[in-house]
Structure formats: C-alpha cells, structure tokens
Structure 1
Amino acid sequence: MVKLHIKRGDESQFLYETILPTLMSELMLQLVRLFNGRLKVDRLCQEIELLSQHGVLLPGNMQGLTDEQISELKLRDEFEEVCVPSGGHVMNPDPMGRRNGRAPNDKMKDILKRTVSEAKTAISKNQVKAGVCLSEEMIRDALDKLRGAVTIVYPMNLPPYDPVRLEFEGNEELAGTQAGTLVLEEDSAQLWWAGKALARDKKLSDYLGRNEKTTIVAKLQRKGQGAPGREPVFSEEEQKKMMAYAYKKQEEFKKLDADSEDGYLNTGWTDPHSLKKQLAGVSNVSWRPS
C-alpha cells in the first residue's frame, strides 16, 4: 500500500493509504471527500459545544437582541417549548445572543462533550504523528456518533434553522463564511507532489513507479493557486537532531581547546626541579606501591 501524507499549505491534514494502479481522478475524489469530511466534523463539534453551553439557535430575527427588544417587538420563538433537552434545562445566556440560553443539564451536557471529544480525536492532525490513516468509514462513524448524541439530548430534534441540524441534513449554508473558504471543490482541487500538479487522467503509478511501500508528502489546494511551497529537505525532527548533534560537537571542541591550552602544565620542561632530577638520575623514575 502507498501511504500519502496530505498537507494543506505547510500544515499536515491526514494520512491516506491507496494502491499504485489507482486513477488520479478517483484518488482526488477520495482525498477531497476526506478533507471536506474532516471540516464537516470539526464544524459540527464547534456548534455542538455551543449547543451544550447555550441551547438551540434562536430564529434569525431574534438573534443579537436583548430580552427587552424582543418583548417590545413582540417576537416569539415557536420552537422554544418544542426543542427542549432531555431532563430539563439550565439557564446559561449566550453572550453572543445567538442561542436561547436553555442549556442541557450536566448529565446531558456530558454526553455531548464526551462524544465531541471522541470525534475530534478521530479527525485530529495528531493522527498523522501516530501513523493512523484516515478513511471515509472513520468520518461516517464520527458523524453517526455525533448525530446519536444530539438525538439522545434533543429527542424532539432541533429547529430547522439550527446549524447542527443543517449539517446533519447536508443543508449547511457556508457561502460567505470563513468555513466556506476552507472547503475544496471535487472538480477543481489539485494534488501537488515533487513540484508538479498530478494530472487526473493518469495513474498514481505513473508518478511513483512500482514500489508499493512508498510514502510521499503531497499537498491539496485549489486549481489556479500556483505551485505550493516545496517541502524542506529535512523534517523538523531531523533538524532538531542535527542541531543537537552540532551543539554537542561544539562543546566537545571547546573542551579539547581548553585541555590543549593547559596541557603544557603536565609536560616535563615545565617542572622547576627537572634539572636536579636529571643530575641525580631520577628523572624517569616512577614510583609504585609494593
């Protein structure tokens, strides 16, 4: 199996295993889906954390308004009494004014937090260091667990405009948002390796040869962005080891220089009694205990 270390810019994203005969068009589709899948899980984790802290999202015309303004305008949240967390709620107002402040109780909140933590671990960039390859099954599993946790806490579902529900239903609105700028399009993404974009009409073996145990670092980006920066010759870990080795050698040379400067003190010509010893014939006599 060929192992791909996928990066976006200089930042590691995930590891992926494939085989050399794979068409680049198919590989690109898989990589972009994994990349966007990680983004989706991450967006859900962020929103579910807010859901556990401040309850469901308010209608658009009530967001950012104070209680007095809502009362004065006679606005009403029709889902306030429907979309309630299991076991009741505790009040925790949203400082951003986006959510209704009716947070789940500690038991239900713990379910959401624990599931979010597991999902974050599954898609973490630390998986690259651990040598764990990402797969579509892992993305689906993370999404299923998040959906299950939200269903347990909110069995009556969430409002149709809540971002958590929209993400689960595939209706998320990302246009004009920062999150939307991160998503890659399947038909316009490019994979770069060794300073060149890999053509979709070729096979992976056309670039890597026949060695199935190859590991490469490749970079995903949008078409038209130009060539990404090349990978450094040495990894960060290798650079640290080289610097440590150089420092150790430098200290050894310093010690040798210091020893050589004082070394003359141990030579015979510096002994003030050397002439007397030579005349007495005892200059080369060594004394040892009997």
Structure 2
Amino acid sequence: MLVYNSQTHKKEEFKPIDEGKVRMYVCGPTVYDQIHIGNARTFLSFDVIRRYLQYKGYEVTFAQNLTDVDDKIINRANEEGRTAAEVAEEYSNAFIEQMHRFGILDPDIRPRATREIEAMQQMIQTLIEKGHAYAADNGDVYFSVRSDHNYGILSGRELDQLRAGERVEVNDQKRDPFDFALWKAAKPGEPSWPSPWGDGRPGWHTECCAMIHRYLGTPIDIHGGGQDLVFPHHENETAQAMCAWGRPLANVWMHTGMLRVNGEKMSKSLGNFFTLKEILDKYPADAVRLLMLQTH
C-alpha cells in the first residue's frame, strides 16, 4: 500500500512501526461554532482511511482532540455573555452529534485540551530545561524556533524567507519574531490554570503535541489534518516533539485538500460556507459522503 507523505512529498510504502498496528491522530475542531462542510470533508477523509486500514486487518488506535480553550471560544463567550466553558461544552456536543449523523466513527481516544493541562506543562518544562523555550517577563512562555535546526522540515519553508510582521505576529516579549507561544499569561476574565510561570493557558500548537505523546507515544504512524494546518500548526508540533523527546512526532503526515467554493477555500473568515448541520438537515448523510468522496 502506497501513501503520500506530506513531509517527503512523495508516495511511500506504508510500513507501521509495530507490525499489524496503526496509531493515528487527526486534529479535531476548535469548538466555538457548528463545523462547516469543509471541516467535515477532512474528518470524512480520515474516517475512510481509518476504515480501510481496519478492513485491511490493522488494529487501529485512533485519537482526535477537541480544542476547548482558544481565543475564538473566549471571544464568542464574551459576545454572548457566557463562560468559555459553556460555549465549548455546547459546541463539543454539537460536533459529536453531527459526526454521528454523518456516519463518522467515534475516535478511540478523544482528549480535551482543558483536561490535559498537566501533560502540556510537563512538555513545556522539558523544552525550557533543554534550552528550546523561555519564559518572558509577562508570564508567556515561547518556543525558540531558531534553536531547532530542523525547523521547516515538514512545510519546506525557510525562516529567512518569512518576514516578521507579514505572516508572523510581532511581539516585544519574544526574543525572535518567529518564536511561538507555548503558554499564554492570563488576561482578566479569561480561563486560566496555575503554572510554574504564572496563571495562564496553553498555546494552540502545544495541545496536540502533548496529547499525542501522552496517549499514543511518539512517533505515531499517521498524523492527519487539513492542508491548511501544515504551516504553522503541524510544523510547530513536530518541532516541539523533536526538541522535547528527540523523536519525530509522526512517521507519515497526511493532509486533505480544501473544499472549494467558486475557486476559493471554504472558510468561516470568507463567509462562503455551509454548516454540516444545514446540509444534513436537507440531504441524506450517505449522499453527502458519496458526493465528497467523488473528488480526489
């Protein structure tokens, strides 16, 4: 069986780390709204891949997270006069309900970011001790991107080709514009947890890496997600794993293409989306699955 590995940019024979077993992780949603059908196409693609691996006789352990603390969730909560936890719970339940309606198998492991804070803090502490991260004066903790000589191995991007301020947030707390937050210091009214660096919450890139290491071990066989996550999210994930544990996060990286509408990527920011719930209220799930699966 040949699979296309996003990291090597070629098709390779699939060889699991442990014969007959596959450990697989796919990035889940940030739960601040109903997911759109572009998101759903990614989850459908990996549902089919997972089912095919099982059909071929592999024992598959499949994990998918819920990002239930994030700026988008906090902003939604503030707009609606609710707590971030209430917003996250509503849309976590909504996501699971729509996945069931769409015929997507439940993951074997579904960690939620807010319940994995300790594992994230342990990883951050390891990175600090190894010289790959530092605490800023304001209580943020940043990953030192230039300390990782392999940075760019997944996306193929070179740091010096990315100009600060265009694709990277400029922040005077960082030693380098390309450094990214592992831990964000608490702001008034935001959810936070105690830590050795002060009260705060994890950065988005921190979550998946720590959860994969805790539940599946590293490296895993397959890490999946949408194409839009290759950089910076997955690049930052694999950088943390290599620097913390000296091992790649995954042997094979697989990314689905974007669902397009009139030549543009479907996204909430562009407003050109339909929610999965809207579509499943109108059409049978099997018909929607078939329609999406007709395109490579």
TM-score (norm 1): 0.21
TM-score (norm 2): 0.21
